[in-house]
Amino acid sequence: MELFAGVGGFRQAMEGIQKDFGIPFDCIAYSEIDANAIKTYKANYDCANEVEMGDIVAFNSDMSRYDNLDFDLLTGGFPCQSFSMMGKKLGFNDHRGTMFFEIEKILEKKRPKFVLLENVKNLITHDKGRTLKEIIGRLESLGYKVFYDIFNTSDFKLAQKRNRCIIFATTEALPESFAFSAASVKSVFDDAAADIKSLSFQRNILDVLSKEVSRKYYLSERIKPTLLADGSKNFVSKSEINQIIARPLTATMHKMHRACQDNYYSDGFINSSDPEAYLEVQFSKDELALQPIRKLTPEEAFALQGFTKEFVFNARNVKVCDGALYKQAGNAVSVNVIYAVLYFIFVHFNL
C-alpha cells in the first residue's frame, strides 16, 4: 500500500527490485489528492485492479474499508511541509503534520509486517526531538521495532544533494546482524551495484543535462540579474550556478528562485570538455550574466530523482504541464534511495 503516493517513487523502486531480483511486489491501493500527480501515476502504472483511496482522511472515516485490504508493506512520504526548514515548522500543530496519525489508524487496524516512511531531515530535530519521539513511541506501542536515519540522495548514485529521514518499522524477528543506518544500506547497495540494471547511476550533473533543449528553459536577460544576485537589503544569499551535484529539488522550483536555492546551468559549463577546469574559472556576476543560462527541464529534474525520460513522456501524453511536473519531481522520493533500502531489507537480509 502506497500512501501519499505522489508519482509513485516507492512503487518505482519496488518495480526495479522485482525486475532485478524477482521479488514480487503488488500494489493493492494508493492514496493521493493532487489531480496532476494522479494523472502521472496512472500514466505510468497499471492501476486497474487497485483501490484508489484519494483523500486518506476521507477514506479513513470508515475503517471497515480496510476489511478486505490485506498487505505486508505500507509505504508513505507523508506530508513534510509542517516539519520542513522552508516552512513554518508547525509539526503536529499543522493539519498536514497530523497525517502521521492517519497512518497510525491503518497500522492499528491492519498491522502490516513492514512500514517504510520518508520525511525531511528536520523531522529528527523538530520540537527538540519530541516529534520524532512521539512517532517512534506510537509505532512501538503497536508492536513495531523502529529504525531511522538520514539518507543523502547523492550517496546513492544520483547527482543531487537531498537529505531525508527514512523510518523503517517491522514486527518481524530480525537477525542479530541487522543494523539499519544510511552507512550500512549504502555499503550493501554499493556492493550490489553491478547486479542492478533497473536504476540510473549518475557520477555528476553532466550525466543528466542535455546539450540541446528548448529555448523556453533559458533565463531571459531581464531575470538573470535577479536570480544571480547575492541578495538585497532584506535578503542575503550566496547565489552560485553550475553545481556539479545539484541542490535539493523543491516543489516550487517552477517559480524560479535565486541561484542559492534552485539549479541553473550555463552553456559554457554544459558544453565544456573539462567541466572541473571550467568551474575553477572565477566568473564575475556580470560575466555570468552574459552567458546563456538555463534552468533544469522536467526530464532532468525527474532524472535527478531516479525516474526515466519515458516516465515524463507518459505524463506529458496525458497533458501534465511543466509546472505540475516540476512540483511532482520536487515532492518525489528519490528512487535509488528507496531501492537501496528495499534491497537491504528484502534481498540482503531476506526478511
> Is 208 buried (19+), middle (13-18) or exposed (0-12) by CB count in 10 A?
buried
Q: How far apart are CA 340 and CA 16, in angstroms?
A: 10
How far apart, in Å, are the Cα atoms of 146 and each of 72, 116, 137? 16, 10, 9
Q: How far apart are CA 270 and CA 293, in angstroms?
A: 10
Residue 163's DSSP bridge partners are 152
How far apart, in Å, are the Cα atoms of 344 and each of 41, 165, 199, 306, 340? 26, 16, 15, 18, 6
DSSP letter at 262 equals S
Asked about 260 being catalytic, the answer comes back as no
pLDDT of residue 233: 66
- The answer to whether residue 158 scores a pLDDT higher than 70 is yes
205-308+317-328 folds as DNA Methylase; Chain A, domain 2 (3.90.120)
Query: Domain locations in the chain?
Result: 2-201+333-348, 205-308+317-328
- The answer to whether residue 301 scores a pLDDT higher than 80 is yes
* Mean pLDDT across 99-113: 95
**Cβ count within 10 A of residue 343:** 23
* Mean pLDDT across 148-168: 98
pLDDT band of residue 98 (cuts 50, 70, 90) is: confident
| Shared fold status for 2-201+333-348 and 205-308+317-328 | no
Q: Of 47, 80, 165, 321, which one is the catalytic site residue?
A: 80
Q: How far apart are CA 206 and CA 178, in angstroms?
A: 36
Q: What angle do CA 175, 181, 184 make, to 5 degrees?
A: 75
Q: How far apart are CA 49 and CA 28, in angstroms?
A: 7
pLDDT band of residue 84 (cuts 50, 70, 90) is: very low
Percent residues over pLDDT 90 in the chain: 85
Percent residues over pLDDT 70 in the chain: 94
pLDDT of residue 66: 98
- The answer to whether residue 288 scores a pLDDT higher than 70 is yes
Conformational region of residue 182, where left means phi above 0, alpha means psi within -120 to 50, and beta covers everything else: alpha
Lowest-confidence range among 4-13, 137-146, 224-233, 330-339?
A: 224-233
pLDDT band of residue 87 (cuts 50, 70, 90) is: very low
Three cell numbers, residue 103: 497512518
pLDDT of residue 276: 86
- Phi and psi torsions of 289, nearest 5°: -65, -20
Model pLDDT for residues 181-239, shown as the tens digit of each residue: 999 999 999 999 999 999 999 999 999 999 999 999 999 999 999 999 987 667 778 89
2-201+333-348: CATH class: alpha beta
How far apart, in Å, are the Cα atoms of 204 and each of 184, 185, 201? 23, 21, 9
